[in-house]
Structure 1
Amino acid sequence: MGKLTATSVKAVKEPGSYSDGDGLFLLIGKRGGKSWIVRIQKDGRRRDIGLGSAKKVPLKLARERAAEVRCQIEAGIDPVAERQKAAGIPVFSEAAKLVHAEHKASWKNAKHAQQWINTLETYAFPAFGNRSVASVDAAAVRDALAAIWLEKPETARRLRQRINSVIDWAVAKGYRENGLALPVIDKALPKQRVQPKHHKAVPYTELPLFMRNLRENESMGRLALEAVILTAARSGEVRLAEWSELDLEGAQWTIPAERMKAGREHVVPLSQEAVSLFERMKAHKRGDTDLVFPGQRRGKPLSDMTLTKAMRDMGRNETPHGFRSTFRDWVAEQTNFPDAVAEMALAHTVSEKTVAAYKRTTLLEKRRELMAAWAGYCEGASGSNVVSFGQ
């Protein structure tokens, strides 16, 4: 027999909680609002599950709902998730797959798209994949992250970002009211000691000799590697370069926005040495592709490993991407070119204030001078190690 009656439920006004027994409580807020909850204790964890407003749910129905919730809990069923599922709210794993499908076309490569969902499948789905996306809370996310936070710090940070993307999507879709309390989660996790990860780079002092050794044999991988060095571009930008992007008469290469890391079109001024390299590449043109550096498979570009293998064959353990660091170190230590010019040559994002300090056309010409000086240094030209640049 319950402690409350229909009459007492209507009569009581004082804010607080009033027990009916078996975990059923009538809650009265500071403003007089009345609602029902059932308190469940399972596996050492307490949960308060709402059963509705006392204005709409009479005492008898509240008792019936409380009994139903207790039965579900004992059977291993999450009553909140079941209620949300009935309302059409997806579980987290379903929501993640929907987010992945919506964003997949916007990502630059298939590998990243697959890694995005794989991370969630491996670390988030086992923890709370079957929970409604509306009920995934900070505690559940923190526990999933904590399992790999120190062991796999970079993976954990990516997992955090991807979980948050799914939750933000759920908020935008109206499946939940609020996003995750990320500051709370971050404070509840141990501090990571992240060591900066640098690509191994050939010292610029060794580059002229490296270039001579590189040209001793000719292969598609070595030719592409030479283009990476002379243009200071990313290896992926070179491997996917197309003839339609090149203006050899105007000595420039325009890389479209969709292939750039920053998502902006980038114009690379070509030195005479770079133009000569691309002229040599005309002998390797294939009718089935517009790629400047075609791979062995029909219509496919070179793999990044092809460039790495070219370096390993030369007895080097550095990475192709490291030549961007080689270039940047040379600019800083051996020239007087402004940092902004070097950063734009590398297609790094710089502040609007910096951009405003230079005229766009002048920047292109300054970069053209820089790339010519760099090519001269790579060739071992006398006096090209120090470049005088008028401010």
Structure 2
Amino acid sequence: MKELKPIEVGRMTEPGRYRCGDNLWLQVTPTVDGKGVSKSWLLRYTINEQARQMGLGSLRLFTLKEARERARKFRQLLADGIDPIQAKHDQRAKAKVERAKRKTFQQCAERYIAAHEQHWKNEKHRHQWRQTLLGDYCKPIADLPVNAIDTALVLKCLDPIWDTKRETAVRLRGRIERVLAWATVRGYRKGDNPGRWGGHLQEALNRNGRVIEHHAAMAYADLPAFMAELRQRDSVSAKALEFTILTAARTGETIGATWDEIDLTTKLWTVPGARMKKGKTHIVPLTDRAIAILTPLPREDGNDHVFVGGKVDSGLSNMAMLELLKDMRPGLTVHGFRSSFSDWAGDRTNFDRETREFSLAHGLTDKTEASYRHMTAVEKRRKLMDSWARYCTSKPVVIGSDNVRAIRGRRVS
């Protein structure tokens, strides 16, 4: 059978297959309505003793010259022992996988939050994650493929708020890093995490020599005067704040406290792991002053909260103590008193680091933590908390006017 010339290709109307040279064939088939014919190109070849044919497109799309060039590329694969049809299927499958992996940062953030929010203890925390990752802060990267996000793009999110909203920016950076890490594990991106801090963003953002990542704290020298003033107030929020300071507790631990957690006989407060940041039960020795705060507190039928809130069957709101503090010492935070305790214990006592850290419910190694759960360790911490209570109720000392300072070198969580 002779090979078709370009001028003959257009004239062929008889259904059949016509050789065009080098395994390329023109296929002429009747149309569905039977009123004409359609023409397309075929590459016919044998591989592994198996005859195969591969479509190369319609004559309307490719001329004979173009079809020959396409056939030549596939014959090169055959020369390397590669089946062109299988190679085409593999390419399509790879493209399909890549499309499936093409997730935007916002899609990854939404999936990360959905996967983890069930373990977050309160609605406020869930709201903060959504607000920072799905709101305006991440607009520069929200709709971009997560595998295209680099350091420059992360900085576009952080730079506008790094100096004006430092704490929010620090949290945002950490959350971006975690979403990108999740995306890497899921196979949506590769390479180093552009949101990482140490040895990376630290060099671009650490403009003031250190990261300002703290809650405003009162210098412990000012505590006695403040506590004396606080004891003059008779509100539930005032009692809760004093109790929080004396126990070095977090706000959520105090306002969520229920009477079944309090043992007035053994003077112990057992905070269940479900309400602790580390998810582990924490035992707090209660001082005489802490017991004195608890004993006369008002009770409400059907409400087991230690510090009763303004609404029926509820505890104190998470803003009550902060609002009181704003009135007494604007600029301070309730959480900052944990740093005051930490600094005082480190500067003014001889208690070992483990006792101090465990009193703050900070994570220790499993072995150390296990030993510090023994009653002897509880009693050791009781001595520390008794010493703290005596200091807080000691005679106020006249000091300088500046009673707000940053945490020494680290953040107390």
Q: Matched residues, percent identical?
A: 32
Instruction: For 1:306 and 1:106, locate their aligned partners in 2 and report how far apart those are by CA, in whole Å.
Output: 25
Instruction: For 1:119 and 1:125, locate their aligned partners in 2 and report how far apart those are by CA, in whole Å.
Output: 7
What SS is found at the alignment partner of 1:268? Answer: strand
The alpha-carbon distance between structure 1 residues 285 and 91, as it changes in their structure 2 partners (threshold 3 A), is: same
| 1:201-237 alpha-carbon deviations (Å, 9 max, x no partner) | 2332232222221111200110001101111111221
Match of 1:330 among 344, 368, 372: 344
Structure number with larger C-alpha Rg: 2
Count of paired positions: 316
Partner of 1:71: none
Paired residues of 1:288 and 1:298 also in contact (CA < 8 A)? no
Q: Which amino acid in the other structure matches residue 340 of structure 2? A: T
Aligned alpha-carbon RMSD (Å): 3.7
Superposed counterparts of 1:1-391, under 5 Å: 1-2=65-66, 4-7=69-72, 9-11=74-76, 54-56=84-86, 83=96, 93-94=106-107, 96-122=109-135, 136-137=146-147, 139-142=148-151, 144-152=153-161, 153-154=169-170, 156-164=172-180, 166-168=182-184, 171=186, 176=187, 179-183=189-193, 191-193=204-206, 194-281=210-297, 284-315=298-329, 317-352=331-366, 354-355=368-369, 360-380=374-394
Instruction: For 1:344 and 1:114, locate their aligned partners in 2 and report how far apart those are by CA, in whole Å.
Output: 29
Q: CA deviation at 1:155?
A: 5.0
Paired residues of 1:203 and 1:326 also in contact (CA < 8 A)? yes
What SS is found at the alignment partner of 2:284? Answer: strand
| 1:38-60 alpha-carbon deviations (Å, 9 max, x no partner) | xxxxxxxxxxxxxxx8342579x
Instruction: For 1:126 and 1:201, locate their aligned partners in 2 and report how far apart those are by CA, in whole Å.
Output: 33
Instruction: For 2:264 and 2:116, locate their aligned partners in 1 and report how far apart those are by CA, in whole Å.
Output: 36
Instruction: For 2:100 and 2:159, locate their aligned partners in 1 and report how far apart those are by CA, in whole Å.
Output: 38
Q: CA deviation at 1:125?
A: 7.5
Greater mean deviation of Cα atoms: 361-370 or 346-355: 346-355
Query: Gaps (5+ residues) in structure 1?
Result: 15-31, 35-52, 66-78, 383-391
Instruction: For 1:184 and 1:312, locate their aligned partners in 2 and report how far apart those are by CA, in whole Å.
Output: 38
The alpha-carbon distance between structure 1 residues 271 and 87, as it changes in their structure 2 partners (threshold 3 A), is: closer
The alpha-carbon distance between structure 1 residues 240 and 350, as it changes in their structure 2 partners (threshold 3 A), is: same
Instruction: For 1:99 and 1:323, locate their aligned partners in 2 and report how far apart those are by CA, in whole Å.
Output: 33
Flag the structure with more relative contact order, 1 or 2, with Cα contacts below 8 A and sequence separation at least 6: 2
Paired residues of 2:287 and 2:385 also in contact (CA < 8 A)? yes
Q: CA deviation at 1:300?
A: 3.0
Q: Which amino acid in the other structure matches residue 261 of structure 1? A: K
What SS is found at the alignment partner of 2:269? Answer: strand
TM superposition score normalised by structure 2: 0.65
Partner of 1:25: none
Instruction: For 2:363 and 2:218, locate their aligned partners in 1 and report how far apart those are by CA, in whole Å.
Output: 24
Instruction: For 2:225 and 2:395, locate their aligned partners in 1 and report how far apart those are by CA, in whole Å.
Output: 12
Instruction: For 1:11 and 1:85, locate their aligned partners in 2 and report how far apart those are by CA, in whole Å.
Output: 26
Instruction: For 1:331 and 1:184, locate their aligned partners in 2 and report how far apart those are by CA, in whole Å.
Output: 38
| 1:311-366 alpha-carbon deviations (Å, 9 max, x no partner) | 23334542221221222222222221112111111111123464477672221110
Paired residues of 1:245 and 1:254 also in contact (CA < 8 A)? yes
Instruction: For 2:155 and 2:81, locate their aligned partners in 1 and report how far apart those are by CA, in whole Å.
Output: 39
Paired residues of 1:116 and 1:162 also in contact (CA < 8 A)? no
